[in-house]
């Protein structure tokens, strides 16, 4: 699975390690210094542990609960920061897009275009992302089974792009909770694409009365270990030096200083199940 991704990302790091790959970074680009600092620290850890690494950061947050929720520092400014991270730190980058006309714009700055879970059935968006030639990471809708994601994969492939990743981020459970059904990972892996577990978003507590999403970060290690044990090719983890001050999704982020210990444990799990 990782070999397919490596073909699409010539500068993808450590693809022969046999380890899972990692998508990690802040929820949203808050500024250049922070983005570079996070990317450098995570890359250093991943180099030490031979974990292929993709830096994650949203250039704009479109799905917000309230009108006054933080959305970003400006599209072009944030995209240029993502580009600088890729160039200076030497890692691939991923960001999410929300409308078809954003695909070509973002593709000029990053290596992987991410389709948010709520938008995974939007045909025009998937086609536009596919036609850029970039790797397309499609998050599984909270309302869909793993098996149903075959059709999203087909839309990208039938648009001429074989570089597809599928990411699970839990399923809606009632109005204000998510649960992870680990049957979805092997189901999606059967389509011949790399499969990722979005560990931090799957621990969200959405639709809180305050209009600010909650979370259960104390379960990050639990979900991550389970995902590796059932064969996930990669993990998606949002991390921040001080989650309490993060502009978005701080309630379910992993503190950056805890990442090394977690990754060491996860490499041991991966070694045990290989």
CATH number of residue 59's parent domain: 3.20.20.70
Q: Check residue 213 and give its pLDDT.
A: 65
User: What is the span of the domain harbouring residue 52?
Assistant: 2-273
Q: Check residue 219 and give its pLDDT.
A: 94
Strand partners of residue 56: 94
Q: Check residue 94 and give its pLDDT.
A: 97
Q: Where are the beta strands (DSSP E) in the chain?
A: 21-25, 53-56, 93-96, 112-115, 135-139, 164-168, 171-172, 178-179, 195-198, 204-205, 214-215, 234-240, 254-255
Quote the Cα angle for 204-258-225, to 5°: 60
Q: Which two tokens stand for residue 228?
A: 């590796």
Q: Check residue 79 and give its pLDDT.
A: 97
Q: Check residue 247 and give its pLDDT.
A: 77
Q: Check residue 87 and give its pLDDT.
A: 96
What's the domain count of the chain?
1
Asked whether 25 and 57 are in contact (CB, 8 A), the reply is: yes
Q: Check residue 65 and give its pLDDT.
A: 62
Asked whether 203 and 179 are in contact (CB, 8 A), the reply is: no
Q: Check residue 15 and give its pLDDT.
A: 53
Q: Which residues of the chain have a pLDDT value below 50?
A: 13-14, 209
């Amino acid at each position: 699975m990782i070999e397919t991704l490596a073909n699409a990302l010539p500068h993808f790091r450590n693809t022969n390690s046999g380890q899972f790959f990692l998508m990690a970074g802040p929820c949203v680009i808050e500024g250049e210094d922070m983005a570079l600092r996070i990317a450098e620290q995570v890359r250093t850890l991943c180099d030490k542990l031979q974990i292929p690494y993709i830096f994650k950061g949203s250039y704009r947050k479109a799905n917000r609960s309230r009108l006054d929720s933080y959305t970003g520092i400006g599209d072009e400014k944030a995209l240029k920061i993502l580009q600088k991270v890729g160039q200076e730190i030497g890692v691939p980058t991923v960001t999410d897009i929300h409308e078809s006309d954003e695909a070509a714009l973002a593709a000029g700055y990053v290596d992987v275009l991410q389709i948010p879970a709520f938008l995974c059935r939007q045909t025009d968006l998937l086609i536009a992302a596919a036609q850029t030639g970039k790797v397309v990471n499609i998050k599984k809708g909270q309302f869909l089974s793993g098996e149903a994601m075959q059709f999203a994969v087909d839309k990208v492939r039938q648009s001429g792009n074989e570089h597809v990743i599928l990411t699970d981020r839990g399923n809606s459970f009632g109005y204000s909770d998510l649960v992870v059904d680990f049957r979805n990972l092997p189901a999606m892996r059967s389509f011949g694409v790399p499969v990722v577990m979005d560990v931090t978003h799957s621990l969200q507590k959405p639709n809180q009365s305050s209009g600010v999403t909650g979370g259960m970060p104390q379960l990050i290690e639990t979900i991550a270990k389970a995902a590796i044990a059932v064969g996930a090719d990669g993990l998606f983890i949002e991390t921040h030096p001080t989650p309490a001050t993060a502009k978005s999704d701080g309630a379910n982020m992993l503190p950056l200083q805890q990442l090394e210990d977690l990754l060491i444990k996860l490499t041991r799990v991966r070694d045990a199940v290989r």
